[in-house]
Chain A
Amino acid sequence: MADLVCEHLNMTFTNPQTGAAVEALKDINFNLKKGELLSVLGPSGCGKTTLLNVIAGFINATGGCAKLGDQVIDAPGVERGMVFQQGALFEWLPVSKNVDFGLRMKKNNAAENAKLVEKWLDIVGLQGFGDTPTYQLSGGMQQRVALARCLINDPEVILMDEPLGALDALTREKMQSLVLELWKETGKTIMIITHSVEEALLLGERLFVMAPRPGRVHKEYRLPFAERGLKESLREIKHDPYFSEVREEILTMIWDMEEEIMGRV
């Protein structure tokens, strides 16, 4: 397993009609060590999704490169699992077939697949739902299927783009605990994008606050809350004075950025 590295990453979109260029990412540099949990925050349009897409290999950077270990990323791969905001599940397949999709594409042994599916459904708390069509599941359950589908492939890095954005507060909290648990148990590198400052603080061992135009990493934090979240209740952590302090700081930061954007328009 290896570190996820970005070196002078640039991504400029050019509007094919007007020729206007948007600098979605400019000179991004970071090194995410194996097993680290990174959360990314930032105002809308600052390039978070773009960053994730580059790392996942869905789009190619216009400058610099992203590497997993020594491997330069230029295409999607099984070692980088992806969880989308809305499950992106295959609605024509039942839960179990969704979960073992990656394995089936690898032509794994069917009996082995079944065992793994059983195990992962158990981990994400969906035991007994194997034959249910995915469109009959609630939003939270669908996200858990998406998680299991990603994790069963045993990727080195897990990329999540606002995976909990569409969930209600309670389900969201449960899912946050689940993510932390999975992080602890599997020791995977996780990069998670969120719009919620609290979520970023709770889940982020490291935290990037990004700024727009051009998209860049504005400030980086190292936080203790993810570690603590493995043992303590998440709600207690939220009452911690340090937690509140950092939250207020980041909120002000993002607020200022938004103001700036508004002013510029």
Chain B
Amino acid sequence: MFEWLSENRAIVAAVLIIVMFGLFVWSIVVGRKQAKLKANDEVFGDPVRTKGGWYWAVTGVTALMLVWFYYSWGMARAYFPNAANEMCQIAKLEEAVSPIKAALPIGSRYYKSTLLASRNSDQLEELLVQLPATVFTDGEKTELQDLIIQIRALIANSSNPENLNQQSKDELVGLSQRLNELSSFLEAGPGDMTPSAEALAQPRWGTTFTEIPILPITSKGMLFDAASVEAAEIAGTFNKVRNRVPENGRLIEDIKERIEAIKETNASGSFDEQVTADREDYVKAVERIFKRLDDGLIFPAAALADVNSAIAELDDASHAAQGGLTTADALLFPGPGIVKSKTQCTEQGSARWLPKPTDVVATFMRLANPDVEDGGGYRGFPLLWWDWLPVSNVVAFFVPDWIADAWPGEYASHGPDGTITPNFKDKLLAFAQGDVNLGHVPMLDGHIWDSLFRVLVALALGIFLGVPLGLFMGVSRFFKSFFDPLIELYRPVPPLAWAPLILTIFGIQDDGKIFLLFMVAFAIMVISARTGASGVQLTKIRASHSLGATDRQIMWNVILPNALPEILTGIRIAVGVCWGTLVAAEMLAGTTGVGFIENIARTVSDYELIWVTILIMGVLGLIFDLIMRWIIQKTIPWRGMG
């Protein structure tokens, strides 16, 4: 069942989207009707105006889901399940022609030749101006000036159409022709091309870590795939075309020799260090520009015009051959679309970091599968499951080893025959270390439970130590003045600033995280209990004194219940803050927990997993809060009534 759903997530999404769109429209209709009915019943600002209105919640949730489906390309995949594959093939063609386009105005505003000519001319101009007056002799200066003029002549010679030799001309014409043929090939359409069995056997879009199947699975895709192969060859040829101007050949040899001559003078050692360095720098700069110009990459602008228009034509042909796909691309694929890099096609734009809702659910289901052997869980540990826990471990956790050490007597030593007969002290040690079989109890297990466990233990400790202290601080000058500075010193430090220190001291196991969270919960509980205790109405205290209550009775029967609303609110806040801190602490160190999963997912850019962990944390946080709200409602109905 789940397998089927996972395989056919496009169809599932298609149905879901229609349902949600229906709900969206319906809830708006209902909402408007209701709004009309109630329009005049309540004045503006009356709190009653915010009561009810679940239909707007439906509108909001469905709108959010639809936006999610849209920006994650979930909608696109639902209704055009093959589009990504086809776009991938188009991207292949794009990738193949990109080297040609990069040299032409169609791809980058200017001809590459234009850029080369202008940039190098500018730099030569600069060099002429910067010619150092002191380090060269007058003769050398004229020589260098002449060299620069000659190098500039290289640019001029290459840019002159009359100098273009026949071979280059032929090559360029041939390229234009092949491009035009490619355009015709695209225009002719796919004909009877059929995708290969291998291509059809690929996993579907989004079902594996490699998002988009790379081999073409439609005839249109075949067409573009074939075109991309040809285009890649054309691009290869284009890259090899050079403008060999015969005149430049001679000039280049001449310049080379003359530069060598100056370099030799430089190296002769007849100058002091600084002068040598300056001379070498300048000559090096001249040579660098020369080297850029000696490989025939500058063409006359007119010579490339044909290739440029052939590429434009190819673009038109490709566009025409895409047909309806361009519309789908524009409407349903927000962002830059699909890009082909070396080995794979990837989604770009919002879809890159926003996984499709169905994929998130599928990833969650994969993680939630408790069968670790079957690929469930994460890193060999289930998400949330149960396991048999040896009772002795629990006992060992609470019974410290030193109890055995402190027990009178000595540990047994080996007897003359080399065997050991454990005495009571040994047995006690084994007990304290958990080396005894006391049976097993079922215990929750998994990443989520580990996170929950840390929060719950820290919270429990924080409550049991923080509430009494807070209450005493609320009623006693000594407690208030003694503990207030201590708590106020550590509390304002953000918990995460403590994390590195505490995790270093306690190690990456649970204790460090629990202690960190305990610190957070403790401060919050102390402060809320203290606020609650000091907020008791004086008349209530006086009344209980007059009724004969002792101090301890007043603490227990008046101050504590009076502080209960604050304490429970404190717990609610502490749960939230602990939860937030925990995830960050787990990101810093550890081998289990929801934050740990997210951290690993981050390092491998597994966006689906990141979102799954975000959603898990959101849902758990929400559940915590709902439970706390429920408890508050049930336990202190008198809140705000006193």
Contact = CB atoms under 8 A, between A and B. Distances in A.
The answer to whether A and B interact is yes
Interface of A: 56-58, 75-78, 80-82, 84, 86, 88, 90-93, 101-102, 105-106, 133, 135, 146, 149-150, 153
A187 B557 CA distance: 31
Contacts of A56: 542, 546
Main secondary structure, interface of B, reads helix
Contact of A88 (B542, B549, B638, B641): B542
A102 B547 contact: yes
A92 B383 CA distance: 42
26 contacts: A77-B548, A78-B547, A81-B546, A82-B542, A84-B542, A84-B543, A88-B537, A88-B539, A90-B558, A90-B561, A92-B561, A92-B636, A93-B561, A102-B548, A105-B548, A105-B550, A105-B553, A105-B557, A106-B548, A133-B637, A133-B638, A133-B641, A135-B641, A146-B543, A149-B543, A150-B547
Name the residue among B543, B638, B641 with the largest chain A CB count within 10 angstroms. Answer: B543
Interface in B501-558: 537, 539-540, 542-550, 553, 557-558
Contacts of B641: 91, 133, 135
Contacts of B546: 56, 76-78, 80-82, 150
B236 to A, nearest CB: 85
A133 B638 CA distance: 8
Given A92-B564, A105-B548, A149-B547, A58 B542 contact: yes
A235 to B, nearest CB: 32
Interface in B548-600: 548-550, 553, 557-558, 561-562, 564
Contacts of A80: 546
Nearest to A149: B547
B539 A153 contact: no
A159 to B, nearest CB: 8
A80 B642 CA distance: 24
Contact of A82 (B537, B543, B549, B636): B543
Contact of A105 (B542, B547, B561, B636): B547
A80 B31 CA distance: 62
For the complex of A and B, list the 7 residue pairs with the smallest distance between their C-beta atoms, beginning with the closest: A135-B641, A102-B547, A76-B545, A78-B548, A88-B539, A91-B642, A82-B546
Contacts of B550: 105
A195 B627 CA distance: 49
Contacts of A82: 542-543, 546
B638 A91 contact: yes
A146 B542 CA distance: 13
Contacts of A149: 543, 547
A61 B561 CA distance: 32
A77 B544 CA distance: 10
Given A86-B539, A105-B557, 11 more contacts: A58-B542, A58-B545, A78-B548, A84-B539, A90-B544, A90-B561, A92-B562, A92-B636, A102-B549, A105-B544, A105-B547
A215 B550 CA distance: 32
A90 B556 CA distance: 13
B522 to A, nearest CB: 25
Nearest to A133: B638
Name the residue among A57, A77, A92, A146 with the largest chain B CB count within 10 angstroms. Answer: A92
B600 to A, nearest CB: 48
B396 to A, nearest CB: 42
B542 A153 contact: no
A146 B561 CA distance: 19
Contact of A135 (B539, B553, B642): B642
Nearest to A53: B542
Contacts of B636: 92
B563 to A, nearest CB: 11
A82 B538 CA distance: 13
A128 to B, nearest CB: 20
A13 B537 CA distance: 21
Contact of A101 (B539, B542, B544, B562): B544
A76 B542 contact: yes
Contacts of A76: 542, 545-546
A76 B641 CA distance: 27
A174 to B, nearest CB: 23
A58 B540 CA distance: 12
B552 to A, nearest CB: 10
Name the residue among B537, B542, B641 with the largest chain A CB count within 10 angstroms. Answer: B542
A56 B544 CA distance: 12
Contacts of B548: 77-78, 102, 105-106, 153
B548 to A, nearest CB: 4
A128 B553 CA distance: 28
Contacts of B540: 88, 90
Contacts of B564: 92
A105 B549 contact: yes
A161 B456 CA distance: 48
Contacts of B539: 84, 86, 88
Contacts of A57: 545
B209 to A, nearest CB: 57
Contacts of A78: 546-548
A101 B547 contact: yes
Contacts of A102: 547-549
Nearest to B550: A105
Nearest to A93: B561
Contacts of A88: 537, 539-540, 542-543
A190 to B, nearest CB: 15
B638 A92 contact: yes
